[in-house]
Chain A
């Protein structure tokens, strides 16, 4: 469309820039949540390994895993 003085433009405008900014913010927060979930997953994996190790040690000592050992 020519932008000269023969035209009398009328416009319908759509501004979603604020929505985009908020979505970007939301995306950053979701990425943060994703990172925290990943860290939590690592923690669970480490805890699982540790629990397995403890269970194996308890079994070696003739204890039923999950049962408390003799008090000293």
Chain B
């Protein structure tokens, strides 16, 4: 009669459960930041709003301009003639060099035990006079049409879920191999 109980299976399960509780989500958050960044760039170039729908086209450009003043004004603003000469998508007249692309920042953090977040936001998109003006486009203030870039687009949600699933599956495989 054996006087030893083989508890290796139980030990393995315990290690697995403990491992699941100790998953470091930073790599996933980095990936989500990258997803936000890339989606912002692609959507800006495709002229899409925050829900993935086409933005209302611009009507004031591009227009033939006799003399373009290429002076870069304060806060990286352009002159009217320069804007009129550009053919980029709505809110991105300079294409990938537009501030909705270059001034998009991401970050991520663990808010509390088990609650993580990845954030994307536009920083310092200011008028010559230092006014943060994107809000006027987002809300359609005054005569401006609504061009709201805010929101997590459906494809981002799909991609975030896919990467979460892949991340966890890889982690499960790693834990099982331990």
Binding site for B on A (CB under 8 A): 1-2, 5-20, 23-24, 26-27, 30-31, 33-34, 37, 40-41, 44-45, 48, 51
Contact = CB atoms under 8 A, between A and B. Distances in A.
Contacts of A13: 115-117
A1 B152 contact: no
Chain B interface, >50% SS class? mixed
Contacts, number: 112
Contact of B120 (A9, A19, A20, A34): A9
Contact of B5 (A11, A31, A37): A37
A27 B22 CA distance: 12
A30 B32 CA distance: 34
Contacts of B25: 14, 16
23 contacts: A6-B123, A6-B126, A6-B132, A8-B122, A8-B149, A11-B120, A14-B25, A14-B29, A16-B25, A16-B115, A16-B116, A17-B114, A23-B17, A23-B21, A27-B14, A30-B13, A30-B17, A34-B14, A37-B10, A40-B5, A41-B4, A41-B7, A44-B5
Given A5-B132, A7-B121, A13-B115, A48 B3 contact: yes
B151 A15 contact: no
Chain A interface, >50% SS class? helix
A30 B19 CA distance: 14
B112 A8 contact: no
A24 to B, nearest CB: 7
The 6 closest A-B pairs by CB, nearest first: A17-B114, A7-B121, A1-B107, A14-B116, A9-B121, A48-B3
B175 interface: no
A18 B14 CA distance: 19
Contacts of B156: 12
B20 interface: yes
B75 to A, nearest CB: 11
Contact of A6 (B5, B18, B118, B124): B124
B119 interface: yes
